[in-house]
Amino acid sequence: MLKKTLLIIFLIIAGKITHAQTADEVYEKYADFNLAILQNEHDKALDLGQQILPDSAKLNSKVRVSFYNSMAKLYEDDSQSVKAIEYYNRVAAAQPDYYVAHRALGYLYIKDISGKPADQVVIDAAYKDKIKKALPHLEKAQACDPDDETLNLIKTLYRNINDEKGLNSLPGRLDQLKKNCIDILDTQ
């Protein structure tokens, strides 16, 4: 009985070892993934990315952040907002000054409520929660890359949740947030 148990454990471990990708294989797939993106082969890139995800820890940290950003964009383009938010959040956590991820997060959080006139939006707890998640990201994006549309959206969101204090202190926050802005991820 002990021999059978040990044999089963050995076979499971051997199977996992042979199934796991080596770091070189992960980087080869990552190169193919980037090529697919450059060639506008969205489905192929998404498939390759999903193959890389279980072994993404084998990518160095800067490459991994860039990979997560690319996956987030692919998921966003594929209308998979939940997955896009997950990976953009990983990017924002690793590179908090990379405003591009913040802009995407801000708009994704309010995706289902934007486009409706402010007077037709039901102000409930879920709506307020989405706005409170979106605002810091939209503010970082606005501070780093000022845009009238984003600024107007931020102001409208504050008004919709009746947060005059947040609205009034916005210029000071934007001044603080614009001090460290990154617009391109470093993979070196």
Q: By C-alpha distance, which of 107, 95, 104, 105 is closest to 185?
A: 95
Instruction: Name the residue range of residue 174's domain.
Output: 96-188
pLDDT of residue 83: 97
Residue at 143 is within a domain: yes
Q: Domain count for the chain, please give it.
A: 1
pLDDT of residue 18: 46
Q: Which helix (H) or strand (E) holds 57?
A: none
Distances (CA, A) of 96 to 30, 43, 105, 154, 178: 24, 29, 12, 19, 12
Q: Which amino acid is at 101?
A: A
Q: Which amino acid is at 147?
A: D
Query: Do the Cβ atoms of 105 and 134 come closer than 8 Å?
Result: yes
pLDDT tens string for the chain (188 positions)?
666 654 566 556 655 554 457 889 999 999 999 999 999 999 999 999 999 999 999 999 999 999 999 999 999 999 999 999 999 999 999 999 999 999 999 999 998 675 554 555 556 788 899 999 999 999 999 999 999 999 999 999 999 999 999 999 999 999 999 999 999 988 87
pLDDT of residue 23: 86
Q: Which two tokens stand for residue 6?
A: 């040990």
Cβ atoms within 10 Å of 154's Cβ, excluding its own: 22
Residue at 43 is within a domain: no
Residue at 15 is within a domain: no
**Distance (Å, whole) CA 181 – CA 187:** 17
**Distance (Å, whole) CA 122 – CA 105:** 22
Residue at 117 is within a domain: yes
Residue at 85 is within a domain: no
Residue at 2 is within a domain: no
pLDDT of residue 5: 57
pLDDT of residue 108: 96
pLDDT of residue 11: 55
Residue at 54 is within a domain: no
pLDDT of residue 188: 77
